[in-house]
Amino acid sequence: MRIVVKIGTSTLAHPTGHLNIRRVEALCKTMSDIKNAGHELILVSSGAIGMGVGKLGLRQRPQDIPTKQAAAAVGQCELMYVYDKLFSEYHHTVAQLLITNDNMVNETRHQNFTNTLNRLLELGALPIINENDTVATDEIVIGDNDTLAAKVAETVNADLLILLSDIDGLYTADPHKDPDAVLLHKVTKIDDYILNLAGVSSTKQGTGGMVTKLHAAQICLDCGCDMVIANGKEPANLYAILDGRDVGTMFTCK
Ligand code: GLU
């Protein structure tokens, strides 16, 4: 299978903004094993701004664009350093791709991006993609990595996109407030009922919430790629999803 895994900031980092070493180690180990089993893997990783905030010792996530972009420049190095180190332990070679919406909408650039991604997969490398936050301004920004990951899945004709977040999936109500909230295991259509459920969940550290995840799901449903929202707290969820067990919320037209 060709699989895109997206990891959100809240999965990668502690609330302090520093790396959650135990979790990231477990995730890299699991993804290495999945690659060893013969699957093709692409990682879309958030966390550049979050890591930069931690490394620069900023008190909070910046609001102004230059500081955000500076934090992303620092944090992206940290992210790739960690991924390179951890995946190397399992003999996997990582490759960094930083893109903007230009690479999605401009035909030539999109073709170049697609060619590079496909060649990296042929070479057995593990592409790790993020938005090029240091240069992405309003007119060229994708804005959130859920959408970016879905567009990547569409670009490479992936079979499956897994969004790892700090929530278990899509609930019928806020599970923190409503004891009757039920996790939906399978969604085949993003209709008004599903869209209305988006408000019941949000993440604190990252950019996305359920709204961007449902947007990503629509992109995936339109191109015939399955998508799962699952909790990144449990890296073993990745195995469970591939084993076809009911983990998180699966969006599929099958
Ligand atoms: N590209 C952003 C970062 O690396 C994250 C965007 C998102 O979480 O959706 O900090």
CB-based contact 180:171 (threshold 8 Å) = no
Tell which residue, 120, 122, 131, has the closest CA to residue 95: 120
Confidence bin at 208 (pLDDT 50/70/90): low
- Compute the average pLDDT of residues 1-12: 95
Atom of ligand 1 at shortest distance to CA of 72?
10
pLDDT of 100 > 90? The answer is yes
- pLDDT value of position 205: 46
- pLDDT value of position 230: 96
- pLDDT value of position 86: 98
Q: Ligand 1 center to residue 179 CA distance, Å?
A: 31
- Compute the average pLDDT of residues 125-149: 89
Q: Ligand 1 center to residue 7 CA distance, Å?
A: 10
Mutation pick for ligand 1 pocket among 98, 207, 229 (CB with most ligand atoms within 8 Å): 207
In the numeric block, the tokens 């180690």 are attached to 25
Q: What percent of the chain has pLDDT over 90?
A: 80
- Compute the average pLDDT of residues 81-107: 96
Distance CA 8, CA 44 (A): 9
- Compute the average pLDDT of residues 61-69: 92
Q: Output the CA angle 52-154-6, nearest 5 degrees.
A: 30
pLDDT of 31 > 50? The answer is yes
Mean pLDDT over the full length of the chain: 92
Distance CA 232, CA 77 (A): 22
CATH number for position 145: 3.40.1160.10
Confidence bin at 204 (pLDDT 50/70/90): very low
Q: How many domains, the chain?
A: 1
Q: Determine the structural domain holding residue 209 and report its residue range.
A: 2-251
Atom of ligand 1 at shortest distance to CA of 148?
9
Distance CA 50, CA 14 (A): 10
Atom of ligand 1 at shortest distance to CA of 146?
9
- pLDDT value of position 58: 92
Radius of gyration for the alpha carbons in the chain, expressed in angstroms and rounded: 17
Confidence bin at 17 (pLDDT 50/70/90): confident
- Compute the average pLDDT of residues 231-253: 95
Q: Ligand 1 center to residue 57 CA distance, Å?
A: 18
Q: Ligand 1 center to residue 205 CA distance, Å?
A: 9
Q: What are phi and psi of 6, to 5 degrees?
A: -110, 130
The residue with greater pLDDT, 161 or 179, is 161
